[in-house]
Structure 1
Amino acid sequence: MSMFIGLGQTIHEEIISLRRELHQFPELSHEETRTTTRIKEELTKAGIPYKDGFATHGVLGIIKGAHPGKTIALRADMDALPIVEKNDHDFVSHKKGVMHACGHDAHTAMLVGAGKLLNTQKDKLSGTILLVFQPAEEDAPIGGAQAMMDEGVFKEYVPDEIYAQHVWPDLPVGTFGVRPGAMMGNSDRFEIRITGSSGHASMPHQTTDAIVIAAQMINSLQTIVSRSTDPLQSAVVTVGKITGGSRYNVIADDVVLEGTVRTYKADVKQTVKARLMQIVEQTASMLGGSACCKYHDGYPATRNNADAAALVAKTVQDAYGEDAQPEILPSMGGEDFGRFLEQYKGAYYWLGTAIPSREVQRPLHDPLFDIDERAIPYGVEMLAELAYQASKEESS
């Protein structure tokens, strides 16, 4: 039997107001001072005890039910991105060059809302519900999840399960995306520095052109996916930034390539990583230059526990019907929540936020990204209901 479905509307305006306030005052990773203050103010107002200071700006809200049960953690990330907002609504970012372009403002506000609903019914709740407000999710590969765990966020209350939701512009309002296994990918970064020798553009035979090496290297890197990995296993290698050269008629002696590697499986990741390093070294050597590569292992793949994912699906279907849980494919995007799932059973799911008036939905990290705020009651209810359903099950 549902306890919280339908109650999201009772605090709809309040949570929208909080979301818009957070949107107007976004803060980058490791700088979430104002956001943390507002979270603590809201928890205090609701009578929810908390602990703070985890990974500097992290907050842990604690709701103790009146009956024995499991400990369930709900997590929301709260940092913004270094993006210039291009929306024209009346609550655009007041901080130049910083924007909530990934929905963390909504995540934070919805978890506050879920906490408020849960706390009003704590005499009927089982176990303990933890509200985990995480900083620095966007700071890959460092993040904030591992730092929170290292600093003892779960020292006193160890979660039996942990859940998180993320706004998703590819799904309509009122629907949720979840699946067992991979939801998001391994997210790694690399930086390649190519060294040649400079000279006049009219006398290339006296030089080693780092730009030519870079061009050959970029093409060769694409063969990793097409020829070195199983075509039935997903992998992406992207060079996203090239820096090199000083003048149109001077052959460059230094080029830097920066990019990312996305995979789902650990063995595929290792294959891609090994081939990338090999191609970098041998391509530069073949063309008379040299190169070094710094490979940064980033967030692990976000892999849902099958039982936890099934509970999310059942909770959605019981509350909103089978059509509210369409079949989805995983994303190659990275997510710091994967580090929580390496340590604790749980699941990560998507909340549909598509804006019907837009013919083309703007993706996450886009300057025009926004959400349909009618999704907010669904997100609040789902977090609260999921915690209720999970906590009352017998602890394994």
Structure 2
Amino acid sequence: MSIINKARKIRRALHENPELGGKEWETSKRIQEELTQVGIPFKTGFAKTGVLGIIEGGQPGGTVALRADIDALPIMEKTNVPFKSKVDDIMHACGHDAHTAMLIGTGLKLQEMKDSLKGRVLLVFQPNEESSPIGGARPMMDDGVFAEYKPDVIFGQHVWPNLPVGQIGIRDKEMMGASDTISFTIKGAGGHASMPHQGKDSIVIAAEFISSLQSIVSRNTNPIESAVVTIGTINGGYRYNVIADEVQLNGTVRTYSKEVKDTVKRRMANLVKGFEIAYEVEIDFVYRDGYEATVNTPEWAQLVRNRVVHTYGKEAVPDVDASMAGEDFSRFLEEIPGAFYWLGCAKEGTGVQKPLHDPEFYFNEDALEIGINTMTDVAVSALQKLQQS
């Protein structure tokens, strides 16, 4: 069986049997079995289900790490593929099944050529990527995943339905945004709907508060910089003729710059104080730092770009805008130089693609070969670059 067909078989098996973050026991077991079959040594126990494969080259040199996330999402799948998820309310809607299969495939190719490699390649199978703010990258590092072999550079790839198969999205700087969460509990005073002067209507206050939150981005941050403030849930009230005494708001803040993030956080705290004084209420405010922005190291991003152009041509690397979606790979990049890039996987013949995290998300398996070849080429080229430096 070819490496591509094997990767396809693995991907489909993982897709049928998805596991949530922190519970990827069978997924981890499958990874270990595949590595064992081809003689790739590995270590386990990182963030419970994480696996580290170790490919030693035939000659000394640097250390390159390649990462794939392995967890699924709590989503009921609505596709009609023959290998549809067999687990209710759990689905690989973010392509981590493909990431895992492609890293295994990359490992197989590198193992075949290991005698010619100058250095080593680490295969990092990371759990719990979808569980911000904890994630799996930091727990893996805390558990010593790089204690014996510290990477000189690390790379990660992510399937991307906004790009067609055959294209790679890569930037020299920001790729993904910081993903923080916010919550506000507005504590007013209840009463009869016909006598609003006797209460402190938390719903009315919440409506004005949400509008004021949006002014932070439009009037307090540099318009050249990017920031998003979204309130995703509102909970409060009892019935139509009762003034709500409490309303809970939950949302997210997305930024690239630490300075912009600090500005948003500070202005939110000041806004809370102002509303408490103006409306004589109490507002509990919690800002939870999530994943930091995923920011590539320019020289390694350029290496990825150069290798893709060399293999597939300039048209394979279009200009792309950064995404405000969060990514746990940022934790690796905070400590290790490297690059994160997107692998086009759009469904051919379809106009509007279903996005990541959608119950109808579709991964075009034609991208498997490109993903494996690109990651292999990047790893080999990175080792050569390290040898020269």
CA distance in 2 between counterparts of 1:285 and 1:212 reads 15
Asked if 1:235 corresponds to 2:227, the answer is yes
Instruction: Report what 2:275 is aligned to.
Output: 283
Asked if 1:340 corresponds to 2:340, the answer is no
Query: Is there any run of 5+ residues in structure 1 with no aligned partner, and where?
Result: 1-8
Task: Give the 5 Å matches for 1:135-214.
Answer: 135-214=127-206
Instruction: Report what 1:297 is aligned to.
Output: 289
Instruction: Report what 1:61 is aligned to.
Output: 53
C-alpha displacement at 1:171, in angstroms? 0.6
Instruction: Report what 1:261 is aligned to.
Output: 253
CA distance in 2 between counterparts of 1:132 and 1:150 reads 14
Task: Give the 5 Å matches for 1:308-387.
Answer: 308-387=300-379
Residues 35-76 of structure 1: CA deviation (Å, up to 9, x unaligned) = 101100111111110000001111000000001221000000
Residues 189-238 of structure 1: CA deviation (Å, up to 9, x unaligned) = 01111101111111111111111111111000000111000111100000
SS of equivalent to 2:116: coil
* Equivalences, count: 388
C-alpha displacement at 1:304, in angstroms? 0.4
CA distance in 1 between counterparts of 2:303 and 2:354 reads 30
| Cα pair 1:216 1:283 within 8 Å, conserved | no
CA distance in 1 between counterparts of 2:304 and 2:385 reads 13
C-alpha displacement at 1:254, in angstroms? 1.2
C-alpha displacement at 1:289, in angstroms? 1.5
Aligned AA for 1:76? A
CA distance in 2 between counterparts of 1:276 and 1:283 reads 11
CA distance in 2 between counterparts of 1:286 and 1:31 reads 47
| Cα pair 1:225 1:235 within 8 Å, conserved | yes
Instruction: Report what 1:92 is aligned to.
Output: 84
Deviates more, 1:241-250 or 1:226-235: 241-250
Q: 1:29 aligns with which of 11, 18, 21?
A: 21
| Cα pair 1:70 1:393 within 8 Å, conserved | no
Residues 134-166 of structure 1: CA deviation (Å, up to 9, x unaligned) = 011100111010111111100101100000000
Aligned AA for 1:178? I
C-alpha displacement at 1:280, in angstroms? 2.4
Aligned AA for 1:203? M
Instruction: Report what 1:10 is aligned to.
Output: 2
Instruction: Report what 1:119 is aligned to.
Output: 111
Residues 87-140 of structure 1: CA deviation (Å, up to 9, x unaligned) = 111111111111111110100010000001100111111100000000111001
SS of equivalent to 1:146: helix
C-alpha displacement at 1:284, in angstroms? 3.7
C-alpha displacement at 1:272, in angstroms? 0.6
Residues 336-358 of structure 1: CA deviation (Å, up to 9, x unaligned) = 10010010010000000011222
The normalised TM-score by structure 1 is 0.96
C-alpha displacement at 1:276, in angstroms? 1.3
Q: 1:39 aligns with which of 31, 38, 42?
A: 31
Asked if 1:20 corresponds to 2:9, the answer is no
Instruction: Report what 2:208 is aligned to.
Output: 216
| Cα pair 1:242 1:255 within 8 Å, conserved | yes
CA distance in 1 between counterparts of 2:169 and 2:373 reads 15
CA RMSD in angstroms, aligned pairs only: 1.1
SS of equivalent to 1:102: coil
Q: 1:104 aligns with which of 81, 96, 99?
A: 96
SS of equivalent to 1:60: strand
SS of equivalent to 1:95: coil
Deviates more, 1:282-291 or 1:301-310: 282-291
SS of equivalent to 2:254: strand
SS of equivalent to 1:82: coil
SS of equivalent to 2:286: strand
Aligned AA for 2:289? D
CA distance in 2 between counterparts of 1:51 and 1:34 reads 16
C-alpha displacement at 1:329, in angstroms? 1.0
Aligned AA for 1:153? V
Alpha-carbon distance change, 253 to 110 in structure 1, aligned in 2, over 3 angstroms? same
Aligned AA for 1:347? A
Aligned AA for 2:378? L
Instruction: Report what 1:5 is aligned to.
Output: none
Residues 309-328 of structure 1: CA deviation (Å, up to 9, x unaligned) = 01000110111111111111
CA distance in 1 between counterparts of 2:180 and 2:224 reads 20
SS of equivalent to 2:320: coil
